[in-house]
């Protein structure tokens, strides 16, 4: 299937761009009940030399109720220097990722297959992300791109 935003892949802003000194949680969690896959795309403008931990979280509501770490490792891709390359590197599958301390613009992508990494049996139908403590000079944000089971005009109003 060809991905076409927003017809076949809906973007959900889960972490607005902001300074990230103490770490942050998603303010909105993306609904995965009818999704076959999603990609959490995390962006950071790392102005201070601190590592930043990124952790996908599953929750029981779109407000993040009961947020918990995903239940299995997932595919992770990174571009740790967006200013000089557009090439992504496959990282070791894991339930989280910590960046290096280099002061660069970076993108981290978590590939989420709900049936493999989310606990639907316990009503964890929503996905978001959390960042670890960092520095007020570092700006972070994240968008989840959700690929639904059924696509087309129903995704638009």
Residue 52 phi/psi, 5° resolution? Answer: -135, 125
The C-alpha atoms of residue 135 and residue 82 are separated, in whole angstroms, by: 20
Q: What is the pLDDT along the chain (157 residues), one digit of tens a residue?
A: 566 777 778 899 999 999 888 899 999 999 999 999 999 999 999 999 999 999 999 999 999 999 999 999 999 999 999 999 999 999 999 999 999 999 999 999 999 999 999 999 999 999 999 999 989 999 999 999 999 887 664 555 4
pLDDT at 157: 46
Neighbours of 13 (CB within 10 A): 14
* Dihedral sign for Cα atoms in the order 47, 89, 70, 119: positive
Residue 122 DSSP symbol: G
Domain boundaries, the chain: 34-141
pLDDT at 154: 54
pLDDT at 149: 86
The C-alpha atoms of residue 129 and residue 17 are separated, in whole angstroms, by: 13
pLDDT at 21: 86
Inter-CA distances, 153 with 5, 7, 8, 38, 102, Å: 12, 7, 9, 19, 43
């Amino acid at each position: 299937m060809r991905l076409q935003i927003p017809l076949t892949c809906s973007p959900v802003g889960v972490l607005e761009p902001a300074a990230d000194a103490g770490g942050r949680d998603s303010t909105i969690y993306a609904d995965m009940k009818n999704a076959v896959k999603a990609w959490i795309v995390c962006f950071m403008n790392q102005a201070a030399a601190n590592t930043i931990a990124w952790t996908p979280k599953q929750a029981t509501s779109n407000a993040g109720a009961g947020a918990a770490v995903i239940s299995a490792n997932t595919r992770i891709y990174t571009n740790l220097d967006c200013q000089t390359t557009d090439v992504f590197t496959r990282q070791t599958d894991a339930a989280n990722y910590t960046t290096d301390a280099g002061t660069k613009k970076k993108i981290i992508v978590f590939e989420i297959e709900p049936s493999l990494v989310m606990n639907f049996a316990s009503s964890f139908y929503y996905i978001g992300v959390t960042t670890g403590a960092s520095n007020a000079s570092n700006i972070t944000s994240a968008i989840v791109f959700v690929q639904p089971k059924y696509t087309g005009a129903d995704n638009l109003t």
